[in-house]
Each structure stands twice: as C-alpha cells, then as structure tokens.
A and B are shown apart, each in its own frame.
Chain A
Amino acid sequence: MRNLSAACYHSGVSDSAYAPTSAASVPTTTATARHSALVRITHWITTLCFFALLVSGLEIVISHPRFYWGEVGNDLTQPLFRIPVPSSRRLVPTGYSYTLPDANGWSRYLHFQTAWFLIITGLLYLIWGLFSGHFRRNLLPRGADLSWREITSTMGRHLRFQRPGAEGTWSYNVLQRSTYLLVIFVLFPLIIWTGLAMSPAFVSAFPATVNVLGGQQSARTLHFLVTIALVLFLFVHVLMVCISGFKSRMRAMITGRASANKERT
C-alpha cells in the first residue's frame, strides 16, 4: 500500500486526497491522466457554452417558432414546419391565446457572446489537438477498429447496454471515436457556419456562405436541425456516461484520474 503514493507523486497533487483505500484499486491507479488538462478544461467550457447557447437559442426561436426553406419566410408565407409552442410575439399564429414575455434582448446578447467564447475555446482545442496528436491518437479510429467484426461487436455491446471493460476506461472504441469526430468536425463547424449565414452583415462580405445553403431561411432551419442533432448527441453522451459508471467517468473528466475497477455505487 505504501508504494501507491509514488504513483500520485508526479501530478503534484497531495496524495492523501486521492489515494485509493482499497487494495484492489492499487494496480490501476496511475500518474498519467485519462484526459489531459486541456481536454478537461475545454470540455467543461464547451458544456457551459452549449447550455447558454441552447437556452438563449430557444428563447430566440419562440419569438418566431416557424421554419421555412429558401430566402424568405414570415407569417404570410407557408412554413416548412412549425414547433407547437406559444410565441413571445403577438402576431405569430401559434394556436395559443397568450403571448410569452419578450426575452430576445438578453438572449441575443448572450447567444453571440457565448458563441465567441465557444469559438475561441474550439480554436484552442483544435490547434492543440492537431499538434499534440490528440486527434490522431485518441479520436481517429485505429486500423484494427475498422474491421466489420469489431464495429458490429461494439454496436452489439452498446445495444445490450453492456458496461465497457477495463480498456474502455483508457481508450475510446470505434463508435465513440467516430461520434466524437462527427461532433467536432461536422456538427460544430455546421452550427457555426449556419449561424454566421444568418448575419446580414457577415453575408454581405461572404455571400457564398448563405447562397450555397439555399437562402437565409434555409440557414436558420439548418441551424435549428443541427441543434437537434447536437442535443441528441448530448443525451446519448450523458446516457453512456451513466451506463459506464457516472462517478468514474466524471472523475476522469474533472481530475483526469481514472481507475478500471468497477464502481461500487
């Protein structure tokens, strides 16, 4: 038991706070962090930003909960679809007899300020991820991952809600890797792009950003649909964290520490 203090030494954190008390966990405690400090910090900043953007975005949506395709859309035109919620504007035909309070002022302020924080955080993560080899090592599916057998067996384990084994504590499987790549390199760039494509001043300088999407209202609709995709990801992400051990996964993303022993909660 004495030698475990050596394992905690490198991180510079006082051992007593983290030293495992059960003998079973001794061999699995290590000085290498499961997630590097940069991943952990950017992960939680992104989480905060995501919720701020989601809440402010929904507030903006309820001032006109109708979606269109093409360049223009308003109360006089046919919507592509509408969300069955009351609106914060009196003129919008919603089917509800009441109007919600106007919250677009602070929502728009918060939405755009948070978007800046998210973009700066994202750029930091992107640059670091490229230079540190994080993307190549941790997110790009490994050669062996890409066999049909590996993919179907991983899917099977997920569908049976099976808890991952020890290797799942230290590394991502092929489904996780492809999902994270999709979120980081497809969904986030898309949400930023479709957001900017709604800005009349931005598209005056870069008209192609909105033209290729089929128009300003198409950009707005796509922005909403990508948001739904991101929210779906969030649900699955949190569900998976709960299935594989909420405490240990949270500990790994907060402190960087991980242990492969089973959670006893």
Chain B
Amino acid sequence: MSDLSRRKMIKTGLVATAGVAGLGVAAKLAQMYGLVPPDHGGLYGLGETLTYASQRLLTRHSLAREFSKSQISKPPFANEVEPFTDEFKRLQAGKFAEWRLAVNGMVARPGSYSLDQLKSFPSHSQITMLQCEEGWSYIADWVGVPLSHVLDVAGALPQAKYVVYYSFEPDTWESIDMADALHRQTFVTYGMNGDDLPVGHGGPLRLRLPRQMGYKSVKYLTHLTVTDDMKKFGKGVGSVSAEYGYAWYAGI
C-alpha cells in the first residue's frame, strides 16, 4: 500500500467517524429538545424528523394566518363522516347536555367538563383556514376555549410532553406536542360561524389546530390524556393516523 492511499484511507476513516459521531450528537440533541416525532422509525422517519424538527424550530410560537369576515367560506365544506351510532344519536337528541370532555393523565386535577362548563370558560374566536391533506380547504370562524386554558384548569404537570385526544368515534385518537397544545390558536371548539358547531363539522366538540392538516383536528372530542411518553399509547407512533400510514406531524 502506498503512502498516499494509506493517508487517504486514514483521512476517510476519520471523516466517517466524525460524521457518525456528529450524527449521534445531533440525534441526542434533537431528542433532548423534543425535535423527534413519535413516528421517527421506519422508511420515512428521517424525512419526518427533518420536517418536524425544522418546523418546530421555525414555528414554535408563530400564528396561523387569520382572515377577514368577508373571506369566510359559505357554506363550509363538511367532509364525509362515519354513520352516527345510536348512542351518538341519543346524545344529539338531548342537545348534547350529557356530553362530557374528560381530562386525565399527568394533571393535578383530573375530571370531566360538560359543554356548559366549557362555554363558561373564556371564549375565543379565530377566522382560520381548515386545510385537508387531500388538497381542498375552507375558511370559518371558530369559537371555543383555548386548549391551554383547559389544561391550566386541570393543572397539567410541567413534565408533560404530549396531549393525546380521543374522538367519540371508535379507534380515533391523535396527539400533539406541548408547543401545539399550549399554542393560543389551538381550541376546544364548540361554535362555528356564529352558531353551535354542526355535527357534520365535528359538533358538539372538536379539537381545532389551524397550523396542521385537517386530520389532526379530531371531531367529536370526548377525552384528553396528558402524558410524557407516547410509547404507552397504541403502537407508540403517536396516533391512529400514524398507525394507518399517515404522518403524525401534519404541519405540511
């Protein structure tokens, strides 16, 4: 072996080692700062991590665009929903007086709230766009209580990392990180365009987060669980969507 090729080999080896070590450090740092999504494993994990990490760094506090009243879509488009169960129809017949939103997990005061209780909390509204990953969109005036307020009332613990949320529809649940959970446009929504939230749009309660695709805005919200470990939920990839092959983070 000539001197030149030996030198080249040592150099290549050093560069490779530095590269691997650098990647290792980067991965550790990313984990530490909560920049790794629960669905980071598998074929598309690298792309998902790059997208989630970079959007988290750029958009932690940024606000979704808000629109003027004249830009509200009339009528808003309601996507297909599963046929309602008898139990849902019974609750609907009672004007959802029996509907409850349960909050548990890493909270100081687990409990559940009726629609009236939720409506007694400070009410906020936002005219924002709902964007479906399919490509269509509409703008509506959404009314509700910021999720951060509900988490405050329940006393979410500081070590919380995710909020898992469930729908009345069986096997429908999603989760978001605290940056989105505490974001001031993330609403527990009960009203739309000056009226109660229609059932076609997820009424009586829908979690609404305008900085992510529509499928994260789960309809018929019944239950929130605050946690620091997504691995404990389902297959550990963060949501039913992710188990079904859709990205957990849908800010793009």
Contacts and interface: CB of A to CB of B under 8 A. Distances in A.
Q: Do A and B come from one complex?
A: yes
Contact of B212 (A74, A200, A220): A200
A191 B213 CA distance: 20
Interface string A92-108: 00000000000011101
Contact of B136 (A74, A115, A210): A74
Nearest to B135: A64
A9 interface: no
Given A76-B75, A91-B79, A112-B51, A200 B138 contact: no
7 contacts: A63-B134, A64-B134, A105-B247, A108-B246, A110-B44, A198-B131, A200-B213
Interface stretch (A29-37, A161-169, A201-209, A249-257): A201-209
B1 to A, nearest CB: 15
B10 interface: no
Contact of A113 (B44, B62, B132, B241): B44
B137 A71 contact: yes
B63 A114 contact: no
Given A104-B133, A113-B46, A202-B58, 8 more contacts: A66-B135, A71-B71, A77-B73, A89-B134, A104-B134, A199-B55, A204-B63, A205-B58
B145 to A, nearest CB: 21
B213 to A, nearest CB: 7
A112 B252 contact: yes
Interface in B207-222: 210-213
Contact of B211 (A91, A105, A200): A200
A216 B245 CA distance: 25
B137 A216 contact: yes
Contacts of A44: none
SS of A interface (majority): helix
B62 A205 contact: yes
B183 to A, nearest CB: 9
A151 B132 CA distance: 47
A216 B73 CA distance: 14
Interface in A52-90: 60-61, 63-64, 66, 71-77, 89-90
B131 A216 contact: yes
Contacts of B63: 204
A108 B212 CA distance: 14
B7 interface: no
Interface residues of A, number: 42
A128 interface: no
B244 A116 contact: no
A91 B230 CA distance: 34
A77 B46 CA distance: 37
B144 to A, nearest CB: 18
Interface residues of B, number: 42
Interface of A: 60-61, 63-64, 66, 71-77, 89-91, 104-106, 108-110, 112-117, 198-207, 210-211, 216-217, 220
A174 B137 CA distance: 44
B21 interface: no
B95 interface: no
Contact of A201 (B47, B132, B211, B245): B211
A76 B75 CA distance: 8
B43 to A, nearest CB: 8
B77 to A, nearest CB: 4
Given A116-B50, A204-B65, A199 B251 contact: yes
A75 B78 CA distance: 10
A81 B66 CA distance: 27
Nearest to A90: B80
B247 A108 contact: yes
A189 B9 CA distance: 38
Contacts of A72: 71, 73, 129, 137-139
B51 A204 contact: no
- Could you say which of B47, B48, B138 has the most chain A C-beta atoms within 10 Å of its C-beta? B47
A207 B58 CA distance: 12
B115 interface: no
A105 B246 contact: yes
